[in-house]
A and B are shown apart, each in its own frame.
Chain A
Amino acid sequence: GAVVSQHPSWVICKSGTSVKIECRSLDFQATTMFWYRQFPKQSLMLMATSNEGSKATYEQGVEKDKFLINHASLTLSTLTVTSAHPEDSSFYICSASQVLNTEAFFGQGTRLTVV
């Protein structure tokens, strides 16, 4: 299957700082990328849908000014958690697909811990 690389795998940051997470499709062009958040023993919660060259579409309740998404190319989307707080600590996962709602390939996830 196609490969989606997410970086970093884990990060620890201080409260108030910003953290950037990268999601890359390595062997295909992803017209659409998705960002999820997952709490322990819960399913993935969609945060936003990112389309190359346009603004991301955020799910209800997700602060767009706090979770900045940039989909600058067909192979790269970034999620920046701004002014991070301990409650932002979570597992963040991206996925990418060539065509909306077809096979989606997931990155390996990023464990964010805010101290």
Chain B
Amino acid sequence: KNQVEQSPQSLIILEGKNCTLQCNYTVSPFSNLRWYKQDTGRGPVSLTIMTFSENTKSNGRYTATLDADTKQSSLHITASQLSDSASYICVVSGRGNAGKSTFGDGTTLTVKP
């Protein structure tokens, strides 16, 4: 069964600090891995998308890494801001017509002043 596990479940950091969120998956065959940011009461917004051949991708202060061999990804947030407080969701898609997207449960990040 395809699974996506995110850790930690929740995280509290001080404004200006860095943090790293983890995503481990068992989806196979692998197509792509996406990180989304979801503010409370809003739809998810795409941060990064990585395919098998990509091992790092940046979007401003967000940097995602992918190790397809160990099936692990991380999302690193640099110089956190109060507006980074949100839920971060890792989504992994399988290859082929039968491939589906599997969602992680998300990491809730709270940035405090």
Interface residues of A (CB under 8 A from B): 1, 4, 6, 34, 41-44, 46, 91, 93, 95, 100-109, 111
A108 and B38 alpha carbons, distance in the complex (Å) = 10
- Chain A's closest residue to B31 (CB) is A101
A100 and B101 alpha carbons, distance in the complex (Å) = 9
Question: In the complex, which residues of chain A have a beta carbon less than 8 angstroms from the beta carbon of B103?
Answer: 43-44, 46
Could you count the A-B residue pairs with CB atoms below 8 Å apart for me: how many are there?
Answer: 55
Enumerate the 4 nearest inter-chain pairs by beta-carbon distance, A residue then B residue, closest first. A106-B43, A101-B93, A109-B43, A43-B105
Query: Interface size for chain B: under 10, 10 to 19, 20 to 34, or 35 or more residues?
Result: 20 to 34
In whole Å, how far is B39's beta carbon from the nearest beta carbon of chain A? Answer: 10
Cβ 8 A contact of B43, one of A93, A100, A101: A93
- Chain A's closest residue to B51 (CB) is A102
Q: For chain B residues 57-113, which have a beta carbon within 8 Å of chain A?
A: 89, 91, 93-95, 97, 99-101, 103-106, 108
- Chain B's closest residue to A110 (CB) is B43
Does the CB pair B32–A42 fall under 8 Å? no
A41 and B38 alpha carbons, distance in the complex (Å) = 11
